Every structure is written in structure tokens, then in C-alpha cells.
């Protein structure tokens, strides 16, 4: 087995301008109880690890705010403004003006709100284009919404090659794509895809679940219309953290989601019986904000304080390239095929390999302290957040992967029933 050496990885760490970010996390969770065989967490793309300070902030919100202030907390502790104040921390990570973003609800619900609002902007165009391999929640939201509205979902296999043909009939209102394919890690060029969609008179809705916090995103610059994203992946907001959504400023006067609640009303506390949308992005709020979850996300986002997102992009490319360079020398011998693009520009902070034993390999890797995940039908998936991973972690993870394959440690896992969450 050849490829980059441990010394090569250490040299990359020595000149890593983001090395200090690792100190912003609770290392106990990353390192594990056995410090001689530290856990290597390559699943921060699914659930980000716990940043330092979150526990204290949440416990203060429970005791000093909820416990002591009770209902006065709504007026005195900034609870009501949390969707906007948390969004102001997310906005620079996705290249958006703060007033174009709101932290609220789940990604799925935000997809419903943004897609329904986008469709209504051009009522004569009732077709939504997406990829067949898009994350299921995106497709289910579109399918059911379009069934209700009398529209149609047009699915293509590959946006990079089939989008132009799918748009040519002039009936498409919205193109809804996930920038990073959750299986392969393929990255779509936001600016050029958005531009080609606009040229055909359609609007562009981006799912940034695997983009926000993973590399620099420039929604405003790309001219995107709408976007949604997750709070619990690269933003490290904790299990089930609130999501966010983006509406370009030019649409905020006309765009109205088909899901209205009192928190999106112009004057929630006037308790009117008729809905009047709030000014601006506030109309995309629905119900009472989840104060404790938003507080956790707010504290977690401090990880990104003073960070240049371009450096995150560059480090994610270095980490993923190092992983590929280390795995490739033995991949073919063990039936692993790279599912991610080789060109770092076309790849998110994720590398996937296809293998008919992918599930068992992932389970065996977890047994030796390397946490990745499996995606049906044959994808072994590894995430590389630039925030807490070192290059030497990547190198060490590959040594263990080689060990698992070479020693056939996956075989015993192949005999066991599959776990519910893979």
C-alpha cells in the first residue's frame, strides 16, 4: 500500500490556517475514551459534533431564562428574534444578506414553503424539475405539493447534462436541486446552473443541506432565488436542529408561502382572523420558535466566528483529496470504486465509495473507531468538515479502512441484520 505518508499529512496540518478551529469543539466526543485509539469522526456531514460553549448556553437558557424569567423571556431574552439573529450568523456562510435568511422549522418544511412560494410567482408554469436521485424529502415535498396544485414533477438523471432539454418546453416554473448529491458528493456549479435556469424563465431553488458550513456558498452573487439548508450537519446545531431558508430580496415583496401561521403575520399579537403576511423574510415563519434548539444552534455557529469561508473550501478540498489519494492505491483490489468526482471543484466535503459490501465495511470501521455512514444501495460515505478534522485523522482513518479490508473484518458484520439508522 503506497500513497501519501503520515509525515505528508502532518506537514499539511502544520500549515493548516484553520487548525485552531478544532479547539472550538468538545474533543471528548471526537477522541473517545481510548486515547491510544482515538475515534475519528467522518460523519459530521450527517450530524456535526458538539461545539464548546453549547452546553453552557443551553443550560443558561434553561435556568436563567426559562427558569427565572418565565414568560418575560419572550420580551427580555431575545427569544422572539432568535430566527433572525441566528440567521444573521448563517447568512455569511451562504453568501446572503442577513435579511434574506431565516432560521426556522425543518429543511423539509422549508422546502414546502419556498417551493410553494416560488411556484405562485409564475402560476402559468406548473412544472418543477429535479433530479431522480435528489434526497427523498425534496421529492416527496414536491410530489405532494404539485399534486395539490395540479402541477407536475419532471425528473432527470443528471442536472449537469439534462437540464437544458428539461427546460426547453418553457413550462418549468422552478428547478429544485440539491447542490451536493447526498450519495456521491457531486457538487453543482451554483452560478452557472442558476444562470441557465433563469435564461429559460424558471426560478432556482437550492437545497444546501450538505453545502452550508462545508465550503463557501454565494447565493446572492449566483443570483439564486430560493434556498434551504440544515442546521445539524456542517453547522453543528445538534440533533434535529432548526433549519434555515433563503429568499432573494427581489422576491420578498411578492413571494408568499402556502403555509401561513401566526408568527408569519404582520402583527402576530393583534390576533386578527385574516392572514396578512409580514414584511420581508418574516412571513416565512410559521409557529412559535423553538427557543432551546435555536439557542444551541446560535452557540454552535460561533465556531465560524472570524473564519474566511474560502479557507473552508480550500481545506475541504485538501482533506477529501488526501483521503482519495490514500485509498486509491488499494481500492480496486478490495472492490471499492470511487463514486465522487475526482476533481475537487466538482466535489463537496464528502467522499463516497461504491462497494457491494459497503454496509458491512462501514459497520466494521465503526468497530475500529472510524465513524462514516452507509447509503442505500451500495455507498460507503465519509464526510470531511474542515472545522475539526486534521489531515492526520484522514490518514489514520484510511489505515484502519485498509486493515478492515485486508483482514476481512467486515465479513462478520455482513452476517448481522441491518440497523435502523445506517
Ligand X SMILES: Cc1ncc(COP(=O)(O)O)c(C=O)c1O
- Which residues are tagged catalytic? 135, 207, 232-233, 381
Nearer to ligand X, 12 or 87 (CB): 87
Tell me the closest approach of the beta carbon of residue 269 to ligand X, in angstroms.
Answer: 29
**Residue count at the site for ligand X (CB under 6 A)?**
12
Stretch of residues binding ligand X (CB under 6 A), selected from 106-114, 217-225, 261-269, 332-340: 106-114
Tell me the closest approach of the beta carbon of residue 215 to ligand X, in angstroms.
Answer: 15
Tell me the closest approach of the beta carbon of residue 70 to ligand X, in angstroms.
Answer: 31
Q: What is the CA 151 to chain-centroid distance, rounded?
A: 28
Of 84, 100, 104, 107, the one binding ligand X by CB under 6 A:
107
Q: Is 106 in the site for ligand X (CB under 6 A)?
A: yes
Q: Is 422 in the site for ligand X (CB under 6 A)?
A: no
Nearer to ligand X, 65 or 138 (CB): 138
Tell me the closest approach of the beta carbon of residue 183 to ligand X, in angstroms.
Answer: 10
What does the per-residue mask of binding to ligand X show for 214-233, with x meaning CB under 6 A? ----------------x---
193: Cα within 13 Å, side-chain hemisphere: 26
Total Cβ atoms within 10 A of residue 120:
15
Stretch of residues binding ligand X (CB under 6 A), selected from 1-9, 132-140, 261-269, 274-282: 132-140
Stretch of residues binding ligand X (CB under 6 A), selected from 79-87, 130-138, 185-193, 294-302: 130-138
Of 16, 43, 207, 373, the one binding ligand X by CB under 6 A:
207
Q: Is 120 in the site for ligand X (CB under 6 A)?
A: no
**Burial annotation 90-100 (CB, 10 A radius, 16+ → b, else e):** bbbbbbbeebb
Q: Is 135 in the site for ligand X (CB under 6 A)?
A: yes
Tell me the closest approach of the beta carbon of residue 106 to ligand X, in angstroms.
Answer: 4
Q: Is 182 in the site for ligand X (CB under 6 A)?
A: yes
- Is residue 371 within 8 Å of 384, Cβ to Cβ? no
Q: Is 413 in the site for ligand X (CB under 6 A)?
A: no
Q: What is the CA 302 to chain-centroid distance, rounded?
A: 17
Considering only residues 244 to 263 of the shown chain, the ones binding ligand X according to CB under 6 A are none
State the cell numbers at 53: 460553549
Tell me the closest approach of the beta carbon of residue 361 to ligand X, in angstroms.
Answer: 21
Tell me the closest approach of the beta carbon of residue 16 to ligand X, in angstroms.
Answer: 27
State the cell numbers at 181: 448529491
CA distances from 406 to 330, 333, 364, 372, 409 (A): 10, 10, 12, 18, 8
Q: Look at residues 113, 112, 131, 116 and name the one whose alpha carbon lies nearest to residue 188.
A: 131
Report which DSSP code applies to 180. B
Alpha carbon distance 297, 71 (integer Å): 21
State the cell numbers at 404: 478492515
Instruction: Report strand pairing: 226-229 vs 350-354.
Output: unpaired
Q: Which residue blocks in 301-355 are alpha helix, DSSP H? A: 309-331
What does the per-residue mask of binding to ligand X show for 136-175, with x meaning CB under 6 A? -xx-------------------------------------
State the cell numbers at 30: 471526537
Considering only residues 365 to 384 of the shown chain, the ones binding ligand X according to CB under 6 A are none
- Is residue 176 within 8 Å of 205, Cβ to Cβ? yes
Nearer to ligand X, 200 or 340 (CB): 340
Nearer to ligand X, 178 or 194 (CB): 178
Tell me the closest approach of the beta carbon of residue 58 to ligand X, in angstroms.
Answer: 20
- Is residue 299 within 8 Å of 53, Cβ to Cβ? yes
Nearer to ligand X, 177 or 281 (CB): 177
- Torsion sign over Cα 292, 294, 295, 297: positive
Q: What is the CA 62 to chain-centroid distance, rounded?
A: 27
Q: Is 130 in the site for ligand X (CB under 6 A)?
A: no
Q: Is 99 in the site for ligand X (CB under 6 A)?
A: no
Q: Look at residues 395, 404, 410 and name the one whose alpha carbon lies nearest to residue 5.
A: 395
Q: Maximum distance among all alpha carbons in the chain?
A: 70
Alpha carbon distance 198, 217 (integer Å): 19
Q: Which residues bind ligand X (CB under 6 A)?
A: 106-108, 135, 137-138, 178, 182, 207, 209, 230, 243
Amino acid at each position: 500500500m503506497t500513497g501519501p505518508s503520515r509525515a505528508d499529512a502532518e506537514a499539511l496540518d502544520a500549515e493548516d490556517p484553520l487548525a485552531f478551529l478544532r479547539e472550538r469543539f468538545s474533543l471528548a466526543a471526537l477522541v473517545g475514551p481510548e486515547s491510544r485509539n482515538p475515534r475519528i469522526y467522518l460523519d459530521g456531514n450527517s450530524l456535526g459534533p458538539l461545539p464548546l460553549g453549547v452546553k453552557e448556553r443551553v443550560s443558561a437558557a434553561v435556568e436563567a431564562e426559562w427558569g427565572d424569567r418565565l414568560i418575560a423571556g419572550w420580551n427580555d431574552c431575545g427569544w422572539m428574534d432568535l430566527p433572525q439573529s441566528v440567521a444573521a450568523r448563517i447568512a455569511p456562510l451562504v453568501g446572503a444578506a442577513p435579511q434574506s435568511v431565516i432560521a426556522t422549522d425543518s429543511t423539509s418544511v422549508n422546502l414546502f414553503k419556498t417551493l410553494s412560494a416560488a411556484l405562485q410567482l409564475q402560476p402559468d408554469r406548473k412544472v418543477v424539475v429535479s433530479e431522480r436521485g435528489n434526497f427523498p424529502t425534496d421529492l416527496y415535498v414536491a410530489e405532494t405539493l404539485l399534486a395539490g396544485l395540479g402541477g407536475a414533477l419532471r425528473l432527470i438523471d443528471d442536472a449537469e447534462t439534462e437540464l437544458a432539454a428539461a427546460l426547453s418546453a418553457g413550462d418549468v416554473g422552478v428547478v429544485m436541486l440539491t447542490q451536493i448529491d447526498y450519495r456521491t458528493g457531486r457538487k453543482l456549479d451554483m452560478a452557472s446552473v442558476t444562470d441557465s435556469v433563469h435564461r429559460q424563465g424558471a426560478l432556482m431553488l437550492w437545497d444546501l443541506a450538505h453545502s452550508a458550513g462545508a465550503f463557501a456558498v454565494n447565493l446572492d452573487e449566483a443570483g439564486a432565488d430560493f434556498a434551504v439548508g440544515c442546521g445539524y450537519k456542517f453547522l453543528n446545531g445538534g440533533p434535529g436542529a432548526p433549519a434555515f431558508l433563503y429568499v432573494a430580496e427581489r422576491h420578498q415583496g411578492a413571494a408568499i408561502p402556502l403555509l401561513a401561521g401566526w408568527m408569519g403575520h404582520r402583527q402576530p399579537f393583534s390576533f386578527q382572523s385574516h392572514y396578512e403576511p409580514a414584511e420581508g423574510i418574516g412571513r416565512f415563519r410559521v409557529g412559535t420558535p423553538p427557543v432551546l434548539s435555536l439557542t444551541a444552534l446560535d452557540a454552535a455557529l460561533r465556531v465560524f466566528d472570524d473564519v474566511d469561508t474560502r479557507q473552508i473550501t480550500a481545506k475541504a478540498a485538501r482533506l477529501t483529496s488526501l483521503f482519495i489519494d490514500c485509498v486509491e492505491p488499494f481500492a480496486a483490489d478490495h472492490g471499492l470504486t470511487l463514486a465522487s468526482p475526482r476533481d475537487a471543484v466538482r466535489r463537496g466535503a464528502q467522499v463516497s465509495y461504491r462497494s457491494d459490501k459497503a454496509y458491512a465495511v462501514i459497520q466494521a470501521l465503526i468497530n475500529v473507531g472510524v465513524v462514516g455512514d452507509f447509503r442505500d444501495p451500495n455507498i460507503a460515505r465519509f464526510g470531511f468538515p474542515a472545522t475539526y478534522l486534521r489531515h492526520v485523522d484522514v490518514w489514520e482513518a484510511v489505515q484502519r479502512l485498509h486493515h478492515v479490508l485486508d483482514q476481512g473484518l467486515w465479513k462478520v458484520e455482513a452476517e448481522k441484520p441491518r440497523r435502523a439508522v445506517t
